[in-house]
A and B are shown apart, each in its own frame.
Chain A
Amino acid sequence: MNLRNEIELVTPALRRFAQALSSETEEVASGCGDDIVHEALLRALKFERPPRGLSVRLWLYSLICAIYRQESAESQAVANRIKLHRPHGLREANGGLWPEPLMAVTSALQKLDIETRECLLLVVLEGLTYNEVVDVLQIPMDVMLARLGRARAALSGQMKVASGPMMAHGQRQAPTAHLRLVK
């Protein structure tokens, strides 16, 4: 299978990942995630061969992470300006039509820092194995697990109210009480 065929196969999942990763800016430009994917495909087609022995799929995920980090740093001023005008948080791109739990998970996702968010999404949404995530992000396994733990604890903490009785029951414990770094 050539590079273009491999890219075509994985592009729909890349769009999902990029949109979830960049959901904080969805209301500004619904195509923001697609722009990131587009830039990743351009770079892949330009360089033609994945580095570090990565598969094309993992290479594209790593490109998206790199591009999003770069774009986030560059657009920080713009993002801050937007937040000033929306003190109650960002609306969804569809005008807030999502059911409450889905709004809550998106809102919680937006509050994660980039490192924990990309780690969570690669594992939970994209279904990458731990070893694949370690390869994509080029971080040690214990760091990856620590980020995953932080992300899950933060989401649990922020979604208690919105996620129904099961989560509400968990309010007895602090969200990070059981977290510890795995070495």
Chain B
Amino acid sequence: MSDVMHQASDADLHRYVDGESGHRERDAVRQWLAAHDEDAERVAAWRLQRQLLHARFDGVVRESLPAALSLRASSTTRFAISPQSPLTHPAAEPPLAVRCGSEQALGHSQVSAFVLGFCAALVLVCLLVFLHRG
């Protein structure tokens, strides 16, 4: 595309606003907008829309995840679901649960608990034997 743009199409303007233009195309659109107030106003309005949409919805990204959406929230490695919306989940629907990563379900916590329980039982048996002998 030449640096001098004879006619900026709507696609050119959208690509410019959305960062899809190449360097040369960007420069050409800038020149076009400098000479065409109505298109410059439209582009400014589109940028304002972007700012307002981010101002309105970006807070959601900064929120901590609800437990129902966190894959690491539960120590049992279950992805528990708590349906809340009457629109998307009828009240009659039971809570869903899906097991994700059955291999991972036998994680460190389960192994540790098993070893700990075994040791405790061993100690208990030793103690009983010691008391009987005593």
Contact = CB atoms under 8 A, between A and B. Distances in A.
B101 A105 contact: no
Contacts of A179: 10
Interface string B37-71: 01101101110111011111110111101101111
A39 B62 CA distance: 21
Nearest to A131: B20
Given A12-B65, A35-B83, A41-B69, A4 B101 contact: yes
Contacts of B41: 166, 169-170, 173
Interface string A2-20: 0010011001110110011
B98 interface: yes
Interface in A99-131: 101-102, 104-106, 109, 121, 123-125, 129-130
A163 B45 contact: yes
B79 A20 contact: no
A32 interface: yes
B100 A4 contact: yes
Contacts of A170: 38, 41-42, 45
A78 to B, nearest CB: 6
Contact of A105 (B14, B44, B56, B83): B56
B48 A163 contact: yes
Contact of A42 (B66, B81, B87): B81
B69 A156 contact: no
A64 interface: no
Contacts of A16: 57-58, 60-61
A183 B41 CA distance: 24
Interface of B: 9-11, 14-15, 18, 20, 38-39, 41-42, 44-46, 48-50, 52-58, 60-63, 65-66, 68-72, 79, 81, 83-89, 96, 98, 100-101
11 contacts: A7-B71, A12-B60, A12-B63, A28-B85, A39-B88, A125-B53, A125-B54, A148-B14, A149-B10, A163-B48, A182-B11
